[in-house]
Chains A and B, each alone.
Chain A
Amino acid sequence: MTLGGFAGTILVVDLTRGVITKEPLDPGLARDFIGGLGLTVKLAYDNLGPGTDALAPENPIVLGAGTLVGTDLPASSRLFSITKLPTSGTIGWSGAGGVTFACMLKNAGYDQIVIKGRADRPVYLEIIDDRVTLRDASPLWGLGVSATCEALWKDYERPTGVVAIGQGGENLVKFSMAYVDRIATLGRGGFGAVMGSKNLKAIVARGSRGVSVADRKGYKALRKSIFERMRAYPHLKEWQEMGLINSFPFVEKETYLHIKKRRVACVSCPIGCKDVVEIRDGDLKGQVVCSSSAINLFTPIIYGMKDYREAIKLIADLDEYGLDMFEFMGLMVFAKALAEEGLIPRDRAEPQIAVESLGSMEAWAGKIARREGLGDVLADGFPGVIEAFGEKAEALAPALVKGMHPYAGPGAALPWHLFGTMELGQVLDPRGPHVGSSGSPTYFARRPLEVFPKHLDRMGVPEDEIAGLLPRGDEGEITGLSVGGLLRHSHRWFAILGSLGVCARAQINRFYSASFCAQAYEAVTGIETPVSALRERADRAWTLLRLANLREGFQREREEVLPRKWFGDRGFQDYVSEEPLTVGESEQMIDDYYREWDWDPKTGVPTQRALDRLGLQGLK
Chain B
Amino acid sequence: MSKYRILTDDAKCTGCLRCQLACSQAYQKSFNPSAARVRVDFLGVDCAIRFTEECVACGLCADNCLYGALEKSAEGGA
Contacts and interface: CB of A to CB of B under 8 A. Distances in A.
Q: Do A and B come from the same complex? A: yes
B28 A210 contact: yes
Interface string A227-267: 00011000010001000000000000000000001111111
A270 B15 CA distance: 10
Contacts of A272: 14, 16, 67
A211 interface: yes
User: Which of B13, B18, B24, B29 has its CB near the most chain A CB atoms (within 10 A)?
Assistant: B18
Contact of A72 (B14, B21, B47, B67): B21
Contacts of A211: 30-32
A236 B67 CA distance: 10
B17 A103 contact: yes
Interface string B1-24: 000000000010111111001101
A195 B32 CA distance: 29
Given A159-B33, A210-B32, A276 B17 contact: no
B22 A72 contact: yes
Interface in B25-46: 25, 28-35, 40-42, 45-46
B35 A208 contact: yes
Contacts of B18: 72, 268, 270
A212 interface: yes
B52 to A, nearest CB: 14
Contact of A159 (B28, B42, B46): B42
A264 B47 CA distance: 10
Interface residues of A, number: 36
Nearest to B21: A72
Given A159-B17, A262-B11, A268-B18, A107 B67 contact: no
Given A71-B21, A262-B45, A270-B16, A107 B34 contact: yes
Interface bracket on B:
20 to 34
A72 B45 contact: no
B21 to A, nearest CB: 4
B38 to A, nearest CB: 13
Given A159-B17, A272-B16, A276-B45, A231 B30 contact: no
A583 interface: no
B15 A209 contact: no
A266 B33 contact: no
Contacts of B42: 153, 158-159
Contact of A269 (B16, B24, B32): B16
A429 to B, nearest CB: 29
A100 interface: yes
A267 B16 contact: yes
B78 interface: no
A207 B33 CA distance: 9
B56 interface: no
A159 B41 CA distance: 8
Nearest to A274: B14
A288 interface: yes
A212 B29 contact: yes
Contacts of B46: 262
A60 interface: no
A72 B32 contact: no
Most buried by A among B13, B14, B18, B22: B14
A265 B40 CA distance: 13
A210 B31 contact: yes
A70 interface: yes
Contacts of A422: none
Given A72-B22, A236-B66, A240-B67, A262 B14 contact: yes
B66 A72 contact: no
A231 B21 CA distance: 18
A264 B14 CA distance: 4
Contacts of A266: 16
Please list the 4 inter-chain residue pairs (A to B) with the smallest Cβ-Cβ separation, ordered nearest first.
A210-B32, A210-B30, A208-B34, A265-B14
Interface of A: 70-72, 100, 103, 107, 153, 158-159, 207-213, 216, 230-231, 236, 240, 261-272, 276, 288, 290
26 contacts: A72-B21, A72-B25, A100-B17, A159-B17, A159-B40, A159-B42, A207-B34, A208-B35, A210-B35, A211-B32, A212-B29, A216-B29, A230-B66, A262-B47, A263-B14, A264-B14, A265-B15, A265-B16, A265-B67, A266-B16, A269-B14, A269-B16, A270-B18, A272-B67, A288-B45, A290-B45
Given A159-B42, A211-B32, 13 more contacts: A72-B18, A100-B15, A158-B42, A236-B66, A240-B66, A240-B67, A262-B46, A263-B14, A263-B67, A269-B14, A270-B18, A270-B67, A271-B66
